[in-house]
């Protein structure tokens, strides 16, 4: 956070005065400067050129309103930040700068705090207390990092297990599909064989039946013919009947 804040501050500085831009203007080459700084740089010069890239400027510099707003916002934010940092080292009870660290109460104290409430306590410098606290935090950080590494290893192990389970399931699924495909192929072939046999049997029986029907038709035709002859004889005259 501090690094990005410093980088922003560097980008908001005029390259001539090296301070935050005041009334910034922008040249045709896109470089910006404080108006006063640019006027001072051009003072007495017939050729107006950019102090950075030396490109000759034939236009009147324009006010860079966007950069101006950004600089004003940055300066205001910096004032609030400095104010907050100042308040953080000032005793809220006595409004004096806190100069020592009370070891017994584990807090920063000013000289009046020491005189009133901390006469018999042990003290050390703020830098020493901060260094000690940072060492403790460092130890905690190391322990937490070790715990984090353990959980990462734990996670990695179970991720490998999950991959193995998935791979094993895919192999089993492929094996099941292969076996059932073979079974389906066997059943299809068996179905084809049985249907073929059934149709052949049907054809044989149908042909036999057709033969029986043809024979019956032939017998029926002969009987019809015989019956017709008998009827003709019965209708004939008696003499003709006996002759037949």
Asked whether residue 151 is assigned to any structural domain, the reply reads no
One domain, residues 39 and 84: yes
- Domain of residue 113 covers 89-121
pLDDT one digit per residue (tens) for the chain, 244 residues? 455 566 778 888 999 999 999 999 999 888 999 999 999 999 888 888 999 898 888 788 999 998 899 999 888 888 877 655 544 577 777 777 878 888 888 888 888 787 777 778 888 888 888 888 888 888 888 888 988 898 899 899 999 999 999 999 999 999 999 999 999 999 999 999 999 999 999 999 999 999 999 999 999 999 999 998 888 888 877 666 666 5
- Nearest Cα neighbor of 33 from 217, 45, 152, 49 is 49
**Are residues 45 and 106 located together in one domain of the fold?**
no
Q: Are residues 70 and 38 part of one domain? A: yes
Domain boundary pick from 74, 101, 121:
121
Alpha helices in 30-125 (DSSP H): 35-42, 65-88, 111-117
Could you tell me the CATH number of the domain that includes residue 105? 3.30.160.60
Q: What pLDDT was estimated at residue 225? A: 92
Instruction: Say if residue 80 is in the same domain as residue 9.
Output: yes
User: What's the predicted TM-score (pTM) here?
Assistant: 0.36
User: Do 84 and 96 belong together in one domain?
Assistant: no
**Total count of domains within the chain:** 2
Does 30 share its domain with 48? yes
In a domain, 197, yes or no: no
Same domain, 107 and 51: no
Q: Are 14 and 97 in the same domain? A: no
Please tell me whether residues 37 and 99 are part of one structural domain: no
Residue 31, SS3? Answer: coil
* Assigned domain for 79 exists: yes
**Any bridge partners for residue 13, and if so which?**
20
- For the chain, strand residue ranges (E) read 24-26, 32-34, 62-63, 100-102, 107-109, 123-125
Task: Give the pLDDT confidence score for residue 2 in this predicted structure.
Answer: 52
């Amino acid at each position: 956070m501090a690094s990005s804040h410093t980088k922003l501050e560097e980008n908001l500085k005029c390259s001539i005065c090296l301070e935050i831009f005041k009334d910034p203007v922008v040249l045709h080459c896109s470089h910006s400067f404080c108006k006063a700084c640019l006027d001072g740089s051009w003072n007495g010069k017939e050729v107006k050129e950019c102090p950075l890239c030396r490109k000759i400027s034939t236009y009147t510099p324009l006010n860079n309103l966007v950069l101006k707003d950004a600089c004003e916002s940055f300066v205001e934010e910096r004032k609030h930040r400095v104010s907050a940092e100042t308040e953080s080292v000032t005793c809220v009870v006595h409004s004096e700068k806190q100069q020592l660290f009370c070891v017994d109460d584990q807090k920063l104290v000013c000289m009046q705090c020491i005189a009133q409430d901390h006469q018999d306590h042990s003290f050390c410098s703020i830098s020493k207390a901060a260094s000690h606290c940072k060492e403790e935090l460092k130890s905690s950080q190391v322990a937490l990092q070790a715990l984090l590494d353990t959980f990462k290893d734990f996670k990695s192990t179970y991720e490998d297990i999950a991959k193995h389970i998935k791979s094993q399931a895919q192999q089993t699924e492929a094996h099941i599909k292969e076996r059932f495909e073979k079974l389906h192929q066997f059943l299809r072939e068996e179905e084809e064989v049985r249907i073929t046999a059934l149709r052949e049997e049907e054809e044989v029986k149908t042909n036999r039946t057709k033969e029986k029907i043809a024979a019956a038709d032939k017998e029926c035709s002969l009987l019809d013919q015989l019956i017709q002859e008998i009827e003709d004889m019965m209708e004939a005259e008696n003499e003709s009947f006996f002759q037949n």
